[in-house]
Amino acid sequence: MKTPYDTALRVTDRQLDQVRAAIGHAIEELQRVELAQRAIDAAMRRESAASGSDHRLLTEHFFVRARADRQRLRERRALAHAQLEDLRRQAVDCYGSRTAIENAADSFREEALRVEATAEQMATDDRIGARAGRLRRASPRP
């Protein structure tokens, strides 16, 4: 049964799909950042081991750049976490809105069924009453 809430349900479903997709993208960004951080950490360990064995290598510039890259990745990670938390809050809001709209649609359907059942009962009562009246008029009175 169609309800006046069907359009709102479709809109909230679309919003929820968009939020889910955005959450997926935010999680992928976090994974990319963490992978890049691990790569930088591994490169720093390799460079540190290489420079430790050969004092002629000057690796200060590498470490400065690597530390700056790590800091930049920390900032990206913090931003991605904040965005993910915001998206999760939006998802909770969307789910709440969707649940409220679904409840309203269910109430509308139940009320429509109740009205229909009442109308059917009234029609049945009217038919029975009319039949009883006809039987009373048709039967001879003593």
* Per-residue model confidence as pLDDT tens digits over 92-134: 999 999 999 999 999 999 999 999 999 999 999 888 888 877 7
Q: Which residue has the tokens 């420079």?
A: 51
Which amino acid would we find at residue 51? S
The pTM score is 0.70
HSE, side-chain direction, 13 A CA sphere, residue 55: 0
- What is the rounded distance in angstroms from the CA atom of residue 21 to the CA atom of residue 100? 22
Give the pLDDT band of residue 54 (cuts 50, 70, 90): low
- What is the rounded distance in angstroms from the CA atom of residue 91 to the CA atom of residue 12? 10
Chain-centre distance for alpha carbon 22: 10
Neighbouring C-beta atoms of residue 65, cutoff 10 Å:
11
In a 3-state reduction of DSSP, which class is residue 62?
helix
On the question of pLDDT at 33 being above 80, the answer is yes
On the question of pLDDT at 9 being above 80, the answer is yes
Give buried/exposed letters for 16-49 (b at 16+ CB in 10 A, else e). Answer: beebeebbeebeebbeebeebbeebeeebeeeee
* pLDDT: which is higher, 76 or 136: 76
Q: What is the mean pLDDT of the chain?
A: 89
Which phi and psi angles does 87 have, rounded to 5°?
-65, -35
